[in-house]
Amino acid sequence: MQLENIEILENHSLAPYAYTQAGGLVDYLAIPKSIHELKVLVNWAKELDMPVQVFGRLSNLIVRNGGLRGLSILLHDLRDVVVDQNKIVASAGADLIWVTEQAFEHGLSGLEWGAGIPGSVGGAVFMNAGAYGGQVDMVVSSVTALMPDGTLQNFGKDVLEFGYRKSVFQSNGGIIISATFELQPDSCAAIRTRMDENNFKRANKQPLNYPSNGSVFKRPEGYFAGKLIMDSKLQGVRRGGVEVSKKHAGFMVNVAHGTGNDYEDLIHYVQKTVYEKFGVNLETEVRIMGER
């Protein structure tokens, strides 16, 4: 169907768009090409009293087999990146990896940790993503969001409520439109060296040859989730087509056409086993949504 020349797909699978290559059907799926189109879609759903979910690159999300009701919006066509002196303004759908490359090309340091992280700028801000000693809250100075009342609002760093894999957008209903990164000048050679070092570590430690969400669990205080899982002898354990990675115990990989339910079942089994062995509750870093 069409809405002001915006294509809306009905009963469409999210799996082809997800890093896990798993996910159920959504009632409606749309990919806006502008903020105006995003507003049109949100207003349409509001008029029909329809729930709305907004995603970037679906790199930190598990959608159950029953899928999602209402309208799902993917922002990956909103991907403008503008460099202005020591600042980069990136639209929510821009690949974080691409933004790190733009920082490198302009001799700006502070995003080297994101060189190999899949996902969008919006998702990274929403989850306060981080790796190798860096994190979104260390470099983001402001965020623009579309609020539930239809207005665009700018959030300074002091009101973004960043925490470990947390931001204010997990509770205020705002749809992240863009983020401003404030970086520091450095030589391109030094920046590239740090990016290459991080990517080398990632390639050696992580199972990049299979679809996955990256790290499944948050780091429990005083422990490492991957080591707890490894010490629980869970590497190689499967539920359906999803397996605890033999290369990195903190990852779950889709090795045989696994589903969202397979991921969730394996997560629950790992949580139960680790708690029984070590008394530690593993909290998921990935988001799990949808109906069974």
Active site residues: 165, 215, 285
One-character DSSP codes across 29-55:
EE--SSHHHHHHHHHHHHHTT--EEEE
Q: Is 105 helix (H, G, I), strand (E, B) or coil?
A: helix
Q: How many helices (H) and strands (E) does the chain have?
A: 6, 20
Distance, in Å, from the CA atom of 130 to the CA atom of 61, rounded to the nearest integer, reads 16
- Name 159's Cβ contacts closer than 8 Å, sequence gap at least 6: 168
Distance, in Å, from the CA atom of 179 to the CA atom of 159, rounded to the nearest integer, reads 14
Burial class (CB in 10 A: 0-12, 13-18, 19+), 80: exposed
Q: What one-letter code names the amino acid at 59?
A: S
